[in-house]
């Protein structure tokens, strides 16, 4: 900063001025000559900036005079050279100054900072320090005015911006990529280096938006093309959609900072949760996904549905033949029931006569004692003993009758099941190949069970196994509670779309005997046969947990070939589930592996039990019934044979 030396300090005689302007009481007169360093006159505008008032005053070309308010310090500059001067003007009235300014105007086509404008130099470089040619837009956050410039091939841009302001910097189409604050510093220059990765893709992070760079590889580490992801905000539930993956399996999503997001692929929900900080910064997060491609998943599902369709067609045919069989057997059934009733009556008559005989004998003893010479106390003691004996005999008779009835009921169930099996075997059905329920419940001595069972049409043969097991084990399992679900009652369903968590068709049978269970099973099965592949497994589990009391183990008996319609409800389940899989001879439905693992439960097949007692690592492979499954991104995936 150059300090001006005055040619004349103060002159108060107005007649001395040959110029047009006159100094006045509140303004000083500055008369000046402007030359270059070669002492040639310059006809350029001169600027006077009051440091106290923050106001700028300017002359026009060829002007040599200006009136300035008193009591301020002025910075004097041009916009063609770097030189500037400073002068202090006191409060004394009618001041006059005669000044000489020199400016080096030889440097053409360059910017010069001013007291109110700062030179901003931007270097836009990538991690290799290579420049990037981009359009930069500086947006003043106070008045929203925009200033634009283009970086050169080396990533360099110089621009003049008003100071005392904050600016956001847009790079190309990336809004608010960075920010800069320019304080009031006269003739200031700021250099800012921005890292901008061209190789990131079309999207870039910004100060208010993080960038997720996703790489999608299949289970065999090959890039997956044409996949789209969703990032869902936990705070706002808003969805953000990615670009499609390219040949390299890469895609991008931009999301607001200061939030946590769950990431979802087309078929794999909630495979990752990612938090983004709230502090304004450039967040670029590389996220790797290893999962089946949509095409491979659809292929697996199609194969599963093929097996399910075959099973469903067999079940429909079987059901028709069973209906015909039961109609044919109806007369014989009535005869059998009548015969059994007669046998029961004869048994009860015989039991009653035997009891009467015992009572008569006891009465004779009592009469004998009455006729003999015994004391009154002895009579009372014998009478009490006799009453206790009679009471015990009645209780034993009732228990015996109850046990007999239960045994008869259980025998009826087993006999009916065996008759149906015999009939179906004669028709060529292989219904006894998969005895998973019998095997699993024999292997595992679970106590105080809460058993949740899929009773849709495809579960027919397994329900017979289930009834066979309970009919033989009922005495040992009196505290067992049952919840049956049919994926919605056909006659009560208002919305055909089967809303998640509101499908219904859930039946309860708490501490019930074989007869009660059979009634509830038939009721649940007849009211709803499912009608489609997905089932409301988790809705039934949640209702069971909320409704039933005093249980230790939760056992879910399901059709392995059916999809779980309401898998999104899984986070609501906080208790371990022991999942018994029916029809898992070929491979296991990975949805049930996910449910068992995430609830810290277990999976049970005809061959063995898989208990998830420890945490699996990314990419870990487990083997079940000879098939390999990979755990990746919070999901299980079936590997090809």
CATH topology of domain 2-102: Immunoglobulin-like (2.60.40)
Domain 436-638 is found in CATH 3.40.50: yes
pLDDT at 504: 84
pTM above 0.75, yes or no: no
Torsion of CA 374, 377, 382, 384, to 10 degrees: 160
pLDDT at 372: 57
Q: Which of 498, 496, 477 is nearest to 555 (CA)?
A: 477
Q: How far is Cα 227 from Cα 231, in angstroms, rounded to an integer?
A: 14
For the segment 303-326, the average pLDDT, to the nearest whole number, is 74
CATH topology of domain 117-200: Immunoglobulin-like (2.60.40)
Pairing mode of beta strands 284-290, 449-454: unpaired
pLDDT at 223: 94
The domain limits of the chain are 2-102, 117-200, 209-291, 296-426, 436-638
pLDDT at 430: 63
Q: Return the higher-pLDDT residue of 396 and 522.
A: 522
Q: In what order do the strands lie in the sheet with 284-290?
A: 250-256, 209-217, 284-290
Report the share of the chain in percent with pLDDT over 70.
80
CATH of 209-291, picked from 1.10.150.530, 3.30.360.10, 2.60.40.10, 3.20.20.80, is 2.60.40.10
What pLDDT, in 10s, does the model give residues 452-484? 999 987 787 788 888 888 887 776 777 899 999
Same fold, 2-102 and 117-200: yes
Q: Where are the beta strands (DSSP E) in 126-188?
A: 135-140, 146-150, 156-162, 165-171, 174-182
What size, in residues, is the chain? 641
What pLDDT, in 10s, does the model give residues 548-602? 999 999 999 999 988 898 998 999 999 999 999 998 888 899 999 999 999 999 9
């Amino acid at each position: 900063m150059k300090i001006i030396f005055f040619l004349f300090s103060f002159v108060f005689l107005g007649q001395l001025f040959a110029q047009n302007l006159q100094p006045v009481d509140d303004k000083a007169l500055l008369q000046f000559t402007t030359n270059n360093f070669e002492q040639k006159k310059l006809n350029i505008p001169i600027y006077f900036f009051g440091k106290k008032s923050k106001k700028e005053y300017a002359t026009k070309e060829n002007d040599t005079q200006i009136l300035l308010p008193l009591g301020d310090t002025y910075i004097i500059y041009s916009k063609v050279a770097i030189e500037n001067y400073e002068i202090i003007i006191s409060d004394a009235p009618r001041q006059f100054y005669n000044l000489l300014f020199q400016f080096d105007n030889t440097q053409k086509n360059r910017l010069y900072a001013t007291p109110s404008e700062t030179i901003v130099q931007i270097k836009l470089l990538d991690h290799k320090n290579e420049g990037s040619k981009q359009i930069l837009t500086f947006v003043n956050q106070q008045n929203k005015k925009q200033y634009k410039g283009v970086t050169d091939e080396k990533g360099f841009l110089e621009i003049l911006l008003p100071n005392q302001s904050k600016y956001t910097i847009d790079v190309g189409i990336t809004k608010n990529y960075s920010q800069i604050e320019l304080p009031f510093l006269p003739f200031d220059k700021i250099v800012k280096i921005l890292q901008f990765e061209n190789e990131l893709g079309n999207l870039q992070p910004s100060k208010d938006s993080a960038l997720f760079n996703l790489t999608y590889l299949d289970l065999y580490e090959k890039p997956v093309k044409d996949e789209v992801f969703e990032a869902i905000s936990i705070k706002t539930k808003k969805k953000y959609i990615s670009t499609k993956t390219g040949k390299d399996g890469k895609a991008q999503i931009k999301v607001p900072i200061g939030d946590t997001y769950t990431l979802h692929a087309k078929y794999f929900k909630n495979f990752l949760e990612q938090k983004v900080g709230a502090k304004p910064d450039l967040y670029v997060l590389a996220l790797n996904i290893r999962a089946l491609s949509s095409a491979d998943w659809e292929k697996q599902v199609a194969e599963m549905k093929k097996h399910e369709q075959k099973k469903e067609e067999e079940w429909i045919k079987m059901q028709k033949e069973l209906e015909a069989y039961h109609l044919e057997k109806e007369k014989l059934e009535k005869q059998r029931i009548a015969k059994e009733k007669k046998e029961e009556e004869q048994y009860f008559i015989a039991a009653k006569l035997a009891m009467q005989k015992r009572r008569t004998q006891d009465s004779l003893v009592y009469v004998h004692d009455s006729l003999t010479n015994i004391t009154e106390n002895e009579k009372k003691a014998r009478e009490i003993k006799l009453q206790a004996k009679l009471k015990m005999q009645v209780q034993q008779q009732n228990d015996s009758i109850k046990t007999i009835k239960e045994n008869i009921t259980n025998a009826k169930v087993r006999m009916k099941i065996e008759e149906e099996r015999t009939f179906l075997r004669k028709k060529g059905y292989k219904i006894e190949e998969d005895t998973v329920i019998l095997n699993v419940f024999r292997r595992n001595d679970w106590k105080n069970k809460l058993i949740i069972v899929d009773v849709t049409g495809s579960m027919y043969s397994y329900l017979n196994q289930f009834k066979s097991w309970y009919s033989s084990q009922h005495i040992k399992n009196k505290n067992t509670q049952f919840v049956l679900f049919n994926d919605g009652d056909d006659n009560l369903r208002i919305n055909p779309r089967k809303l998640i968590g509101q499908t219904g068709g859930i039946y309860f049978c708490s501490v019930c005997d074989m007869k009660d269970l059979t009634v509830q099973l038939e009721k649940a099965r007849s009211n709803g046969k499912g009608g489609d592949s997905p089932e409301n497994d988790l809705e039934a589990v949640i209702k069971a947990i909320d409704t039933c009391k005093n249980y230790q183990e939760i056992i879910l008996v399901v059709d392995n070939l059916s999809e779980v319609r309401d898998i999104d409800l899984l986070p609501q389940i906080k208790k371990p589930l022991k999942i018994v899989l029916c029809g898992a001879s070929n491979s296991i439905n990975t949805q049930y592996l996910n449910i068992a693992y995430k609830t810290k439960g277990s999976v049970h097949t005809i061959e063995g039990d898989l208990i998830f007692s420890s945490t699996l690592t990314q990419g870990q492979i487990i083997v079940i019934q000879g098939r390999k499954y990979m755990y990746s991104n919070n999901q299980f995936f079936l590997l090809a044979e």
